[in-house]
Amino acid sequence: MPSKTEAETLSEVLDLAAAQFQVPRADLSGGDDFFAKLGIDSLKALEMLTRLENHFGVELPDYEMQGVSDFGTLADRIHARL
């Protein structure tokens, strides 16, 4: 049983993305396409993946992340491994 709720996981994902890309936290929500919203490329996306792995203490195989572009789905994938 994860120690946090899905909503808490999503909130932490958004906190980390806001800090990494220096955007106002209030501007981000679960439905946002992070590539479009943050204007990031693949290397920045990998960096975000690594930060998320380090923060949550999980491994996120990148092949599971292909096709994932919104914060909500990303948070779901993380939550499934907590």
Partner 1 sequence: MNRYAGDTLSWAVSDGVVELELHRAPANEIGSAMLADLERFAEALPALERDAAALILHSRLDAGFSAGADLRELYHRMIDLGPAERQAQLRTFLERIHAVMNAIDATSLTTIAATRGVVFGGGFELALVCDLIIADKMTRFCFPELRLGLIPGFGGIPRLKRDLGNAVVRDLLLTGRSVNASRAHAIGLVSQLTAEGRSLDAARATARQILKFDRGTSAAAKEFVKPVPRAELAREIELFCELFSRPAVEAGLKRFVESEDAMPYLP
Of 82, 77, 5, give the one whose Cα is nearest residue 48: 77
Residue 39 interacting with partner 1 (CB under 8 A): no
Q: Which of residues 50-79 bind partner 1 (CB under 8 A)?
A: 50-51, 53-54, 59, 61-63, 66, 69
Among 8, 47, 70, 76, binds partner 1 (CB under 8 A): 47
Q: In this complex, which beta carbon is closest to partner 1, that of residue 49 or of residue 75?
A: 49
What's the min distance (Å) between Cβ of 4 and partner 1? Answer: 20
**CB neighbour burial string for 37-50, b if at least 16 within 10 angstroms, e if fewer:** bbebeeeebeebbe
Of 36, 43, 46, 41, give the one whose Cα is nearest residue 70: 36
> Where along the sequence are the contacts to partner 1 (CB under 8 A)?
35, 40-43, 45-47, 49-51, 53-54, 59, 61-63, 66, 69
